[in-house]
C-alpha cells in the first residue's frame, strides 16, 4: 500500500456493495430463492430507508467537519460526533442496512448469503486500510478514538 495522503481502499465502498448485490441478483435470476413472503416487502423498504438515513447523517457530519466522504481524498479532520460517537464506521453500517433492505425488497436470499464475503472484503480492503491511514494521519487522537468507540457497534 502506498503512503499517499488517502486510505488507499481497494474500491469505493458503495461500488463494492453494489457489485456484490448485483452478483446476488444475477444468481437469483439463474437460481431463484425467495427470502420472504410477499406481504413483508414494506419491511425491506423500511430497512433500506433506515440505511439511507444513517448514510446521509454520516455524510452530513463529515461534510460539516470539512473532511471528504471520498476515501481517495485526504482526511482533514477526525470526526467523532454524531453517529461517529457510537461506531467508527456508521456509513458502512448504513450501506449494510440498505443492502439487506434491498435484498428483502427484491425478495432474494442470494445477497444475504454473499454478505459474509462482502464484509470480509470491506474489512480487509477498506476498513483496515482506512484505520492504518487514520492512525498515520491523526496519531494518538485516533488511537484514543479507537479505544473508546467500536469499529461497528
Q: What is the model's pLDDT at position 81?
A: 98
How many residues belong to the chain? 153
Count of other CB atoms within 10 angstroms of residue 151: 13
| Orientation angle between helical segments 13-30 and 110-122, nearest 10 degrees | 150
Q: What is the model's pLDDT at position 35?
A: 82
Distance, CA of 151 to CA of 128 (rounded, Å):
10
CA distances to 8, 38, 92, 110, 140 from 119, rounded to whole Å, are: 18, 28, 9, 15, 27
Q: What is the model's pLDDT at position 58?
A: 98
Sign of CA dihedral 8, 14, 20, 23: negative
Task: Return mean pLDDT, the chain.
Answer: 94
Q: What is the model's pLDDT at position 97?
A: 98
Distance, CA of 13 to CA of 99 (rounded, Å):
12
Residue 151 is given by DSSP the state S
Q: What is the model's pLDDT at position 121?
A: 98
Residue 1 pLDDT greater than 50, yes or no: no
Sorted by where each begins, the domain ranges of the chain are 37-68+77-148
Residue 2 pLDDT greater than 50, yes or no: no
The tens digit of pLDDT for each residue in 113-148 reads: 999 999 999 999 999 999 999 999 999 999 999 999
Average pLDDT over residues 49-68: 98
Number of H helices, E strands in the chain: 6, 0
The tens digit of pLDDT for each residue in 17-43 reads: 999 999 999 999 999 999 877 757 899
Amino acid at each position: 500500500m502506498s503512503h499517499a495522503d488517502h486510505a488507499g481502499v481497494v474500491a469505493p465502498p458503495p461500488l463494492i456493495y453494489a457489485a456484490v448485490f448485483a452478483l446476488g441478483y444475477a444468481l437469483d435470476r439463474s437460481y431463484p430463492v425467495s427470502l420472504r413472503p410477499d406481504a413483508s416487502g414494506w419491511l425491506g423498504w423500511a430497512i433500506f430507508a433506515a440505511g439511507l438515513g444513517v448514510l446521509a447523517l454520516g455524510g452530513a457530519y463529515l461534510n460539516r467537519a470539512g473532511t471528504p466522504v471520498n476515501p481517495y481524498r485526504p482526511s482533514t479532520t477526525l470526526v467523532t460526533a454524531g453517529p461517529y460517537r457510537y461506531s467508527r464506521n456508521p456509513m458502512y453500517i448504513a450501506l449494510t442496512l440498505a443492502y439487506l433492505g434491498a435484498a428483502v425488497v427484491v425478495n432474494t436470499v442470494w445477497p444475504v448469503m454473499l454478505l459474509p464475503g462482502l464484509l470480509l472484503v470491506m474489512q480487509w480492503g477498506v476498513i483496515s486500510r482506512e484505520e492504518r491511514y487514520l492512525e498515520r494521519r491523526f496519531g494518538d487522537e485516533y488511537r484514543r478514538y479507537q479505544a473508546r468507540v467500536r469499529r461497528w457497534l
